[in-house]
């Protein structure tokens, strides 16, 4: 299916997301913080990115902005996956270029539906 980059500083969250994605036939790439996520996105050009927000060095909003504003990665859909559940957070994520927003703890059906909305069919 698709190559999906998971950017999350929590090994537990990364494993949980990877398990869901693999179950649905996706190939997984991981990054442990926003800075690494930006570098890997440029190098690997995944089909889609799942981006946590609260991370060291470069947070998910900053990383999303860097990815969506860079001509080499701007076509990659970014879905924010975070515990930040306020409407203002969602709006801010969209302003940074995120295409979708999923709140943790992740509901598998919602996550898969959101991913499928942005992957080429």
Task: Please tell me the distance from the alpha carbon of residue 45 to that of residue 24, in angstroms, as a whole number.
Answer: 20
Homologous superfamily of the 3-118 domain (CATH): Response regulator (3.40.50.2300)
How much of the chain, in percent, has pLDDT values that exceed 90? 97
How is the chain split into domains, by residue range?
3-118
- The three-state secondary structure class of 59 is coil
Q: What would the pLDDT profile of 22-50 be if each residue is shown by its tens digit? A: 999 999 999 999 999 999 999 999 999 99
Instruction: Give pLDDT, residue 1.
Output: 85
Rounded to 10°, the helix 108-118/11-23 angle is 70
Q: Which of 46, 44, 69 is nearest to 120 (CA)?
A: 46
- Inform me whether the pLDDT recorded for 120 exceeds 80: no
Mean pLDDT of all residues in 54-81:
97
CB atoms within 10 A of CB 62: 16
Cis peptide leading into residue 105 (ω within 30°)? yes
């Amino acid at each position: 299916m698709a190559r999906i980059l998971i950017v999350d500083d929590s090994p537990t969250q990364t494993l949980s997301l990877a398990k869901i994605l693999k179950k649905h036939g996706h190939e997984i790439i991981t990054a442990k913080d926003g800075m690494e996520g930006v570098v890997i996105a440029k190098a690997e050009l995944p089909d889609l990115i799942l981006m946590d927000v609260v991370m060291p060095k470069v947070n998910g909003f900053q990383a999303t902005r860097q990815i969506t504003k860079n001509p080499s990665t701007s076509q990659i859909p970014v879905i924010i996956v975070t515990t930040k559940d306020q409407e203002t957070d969602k709006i801010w994520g969209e302003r940074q270029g995120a295409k979708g927003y999923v709140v943790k703890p992740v509901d598998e059906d919602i996550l898969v539906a959101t991913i499928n909305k942005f992957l080429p069919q």
